[in-house]
Amino acid sequence: MKGVRRISVLGLMVSLTVILVWGSRWLDAKEKKKVNVVMKKKLKYAQAALKAVARQDFGEISGAAASLTALSHQGDWQVVKHEQYLTYSNDFRRAVAAMSTAAKSKNIDGAALGYVQMTLSCVNCHKWIREVRKTE
């Protein structure tokens, strides 16, 4: 009788562990998917900004800039909880704002410069993330 009880307790523990492990995996995958959606949108809006800068479409530059800024404030953007990540996010927003301000005053050179600064901020943040991952 005692042996049977021990086996059932063990069985319960094993199933709980399995449920917990699978549960957290599932959450991870779900979270990753949400982050991926944001990152893909970011690329889409950045490409829209390039197209608008190349065509000197000031309205579209402002539109793309507004979408990029809004995206950078979304929860799923804040995937990395680190002060440095906030700094890179602010660099990104500042560059997008410069692009937008220039577009509003119909300054194509300023908008192009803002676009380039934004692109550099993409590369800088990704570079830092790769470094952090390496040391994890």
Binding site for ligand HEC (CB under 6 A): 39, 42-43, 46, 79-80, 85, 88-89, 92, 118, 121-122, 125-126, 129
Number of Cβ within 10 Å of residue 111's Cβ equals 27
Query: Which pair of structure tokens corresponds to residue 136?
Result: 């994890």
CB 25 to ligand HEC: min, Å = 16
CB 26 to ligand HEC: min, Å = 18
Nearer to ligand HEC, 58 or 88 (CB): 88
Nearer to ligand HEC, 50 or 108 (CB): 50
Helices 58-72 and 108-135 pack at an angle, to 10 degrees, of: 30
Q: What is the DSSP string of 52-114?
A: HHHTT-HHHHHHHHHHHHHHHTSGGG--S--HHHHHHHHHHHHHHHHHHHHHHTT-HHHHHHH
CB 94 to ligand HEC: min, Å = 11
CB 74 to ligand HEC: min, Å = 12
Nearer to ligand HEC, 94 or 104 (CB): 94
Q: Quick one: the chain helix, strand, coil %, rounded to 5?
A: 90, 0, 10
Nearer to ligand HEC, 58 or 71 (CB): 71
